[in-house]
Structure 1
Amino acid sequence: MTKLIGYARVSTRQQSTDRQQADLLAAGVRRDDLYVDHGVSGARASRPKFDEALAALMEGDTLVITTLDRLGRSTQNMLAFADELRSRGAGLRVLNLGGGDVDTATPMGSMLFTIMAALAQMEHEIKRERVTDSINKRREAGKALGGRPRRLTDSQIRSAVSLVKGGEPAAQVARDFGMSRATFYRRSRALADQQGVV
C-alpha cells in the first residue's frame, strides 16, 4: 500500500511548524507518517527527521512538503534529490508551488519543479546580495552595523586601568568589571591611543 510521508521544518526553535503540519495533514498525510525538524537549517545536508522520512519512503510512496524551501537552498541539490526519489520509485509532492500542488511523478510536475527550484535558489541569492550590499553601504557611511553594544564606558575602563596600575591583577579587575582580560587590554589600548595617555 502506498503512503504519503510528510516533512516539515523550521530553521529556528522559536518558529512553529503548526501551519505546515496542518497543511500536510489536510493533504492526506497521517500523523504517524509526519516528520518534523525544529531548529535545523535547510542548508545542512543532514537533518535528523528528514533522514528518517527518507528511510520510511518505500517504492510507490510520496514525500509531501508544503513549500520548496523545506528541501534546501540549492537548485542542483533539489534536482538531484528529486532524481534520487524517482530512481527509488517514490514521488515528491509540493503543496504550495506556484499556486497549487505539484507532483514530480508527472512530466508537467517535474518541469514545474525544475523551474521553481531554480527560482527559489535565485531568490535566496538575491536576498544574500541585498544583505551584503546593505552592510557595505552602512560601513561606507560609517554607520553602526549592530552587534552587541559596549557595556562599559570609557570612564569605567579608566577606573579599571587605575586599579591595575595600583597593583591589582588585570585578570581579577577584568572579571570584576564583567569583561575578559583580552577585552580589558584591547579597550585600555584603544583609550590610550585615543587620548595619548591613560
Structure 2
Amino acid sequence: MGKLIGYARVSTRNQSTDRQEADLLAAGIRRDDLYVDHGVSGARASRPQFDRALGALHEGDTMVITTLDRLGRSTQNMLAFADELRSRGAGLRVLNLGGGDVDTSTPMGSMLFTIMAALAQMEYEIKRERVTDSVRKRREAGKDLGGRPQRITDSQIRNAIRLVGSGEPAAQVARDLGMSRASFYRRSRILSTRTNP
C-alpha cells in the first residue's frame, strides 16, 4: 500500500492551517508527509509546498486534502489534476466532500469529485459576482467601502507638528501618538501639501 501525502493551504498569512492539519493527521498522514502553503492563493498555478507534495507522490500513493477548494478554483484545473494523478497511478482523497470522504481512485469517487468540482467553481463565481455587485452599488451610493480607519486625526498631527516646532523631539512626539517617526513625517508632509498647495 502506498503512502498518504497531505496538503493544506490558506490564502493569507493571517489565516491558520491548524484545523486542516489536525484533520489530515487524524486521517493517518505522518507529519513528515504533510505539506502546507501559507499565504498562497488557490488561483496561482505554482504553490511551493503543493509542488513539493506532488514531487513526493509515487505510484500507489494518495494525496489527501481536507476540502476541494484547497486544490484551486477552476473545475478544469481540478479535473486535469485528478487526471494527472490517475495517469501517475496515484489517487486523490478529499476528506470533507459532500459530507463524506471521497477517493478518486474509485469510479464513484471520481464521479462525485467531478460534480463537486463543478459546483465549487460555480459557488466561487457566484460569490465573486455578488462581491463585485455589492462594491459597485456602494460606490454608486457614495458609501464607504471599508478599509482600515485612520486612527490618528489631522488635528492630532497638527498639534504634534506644533510640539516638534517648539523643540520636542520628533521621535518622542511620534511615539506618544502611537506611530513611527517615518509615518509621522509622511502624514505631516501630506497635511502640509493639502493646506499649502
Shorter-chain TM-score tier: 0.7 to 0.9
TM-score, normalization by structure 1 = 0.77
> C-alpha root-mean-square deviation of aligned residues, in Å?
2.6
Give yes or no for contact 2:93–2:103 (8 Å, CA) kept in 1.
yes
1:139 to 2:144 alignment: no
Most deviating of 107-116 and 16-25: 16-25
Paired amino acid for 1:178: R
Paired amino acid for 1:100: G
Larger Rg: 1
1:35 to 2:35 alignment: yes
The 5 A counterparts of 1:3-152 are 3-147=3-147
Paired amino acid for 1:31: R
TM-score, normalization by structure 2 = 0.78
Give yes or no for contact 2:154–2:191 (8 Å, CA) kept in 1.
no
Q: Unaligned 5+ residue runs, structure 1?
A: 161-174, 193-198
The list of structure 1 runs, each at least 4 consecutive aligned residues, that deviate by more than 3 angstroms after superposition, is 147-154, 179-185
Partner Cα distance (1:56, 1:176) in 2: 50
**CA drift at 1:30:** 1.2
Q: Percent identity?
A: 80
Partner Cα distance (1:188, 1:180) in 2: 11
Aligned with 1:178: secondary structure? helix
Change beyond 3 A, Cα 1:141–1:46: same
Counterpart for residue 180 of structure 2 = none
Partner Cα distance (1:183, 1:124) in 2: 42
Partner Cα distance (1:68, 1:110) in 2: 13
Partner Cα distance (2:135, 2:49) in 1: 35
Counterpart for residue 186 of structure 2 = 178
Tell me how many residue pairs correspond in the alignment.
174
